Amino acid sequence: MVLVPIIRVRDSYTGKTHIVGTDHHDRLVMSTDGRSLDYLNIQNMSGTHFMGYRFQLEEMQVGPDDFEHEVEMVTVDEAIKIWREEERRQEKAYKQMQELLAKKHGGKAEDYRFIS
């Protein structure tokens, strides 16, 4: 069975969590010594290294009072389901923005298009 990582980050300021790669500003950056991986939002130049974001990890108990944290791993089928749900969520948000602009400025919602 093949598993793929689902890496989530939480914005320390807004509290919102998202899957890395669902925003075109997302980057994963490896340290020059290859010992650490950080998330970077290139729009605001904030990330896990600079404390603007935190990785959302699953807690795993390895002893009676000892816990480690790991990235969520899912099957390819589960990953496809997650990505489809994310696409639906983003499409809904896109349509809501179009409707708000049409309501405020007039015209049809479809007349408002965004560059991604």
Domain count for the chain: 1
For residue 73, give its domain range.
Answer: 3-111
Tens digits of residue pLDDT in 40-63? 999 999 999 988 999 998 877 777
Q: Is residue 116 part of a domain?
A: no
Tens digits of residue pLDDT in 86-114? 999 989 988 998 999 888 898 888 888 77
Q: Is residue 12 part of a domain?
A: yes
Q: Is residue 107 part of a domain?
A: yes
What distances in angstroms separate CA 44 from CA 27, 30, 33, 41, 106, one per listed residue?
12, 19, 25, 6, 32
Q: Is residue 55 part of a domain?
A: yes
Q: Is residue 94 part of a domain?
A: yes
pTM for the full model?
A: 0.74
Q: Give the list of residues 6+ apart from residue 109 with CB closer than 8 angstroms, or none.
A: 95, 98, 99, 101, 102
Q: Is residue 52 part of a domain?
A: yes
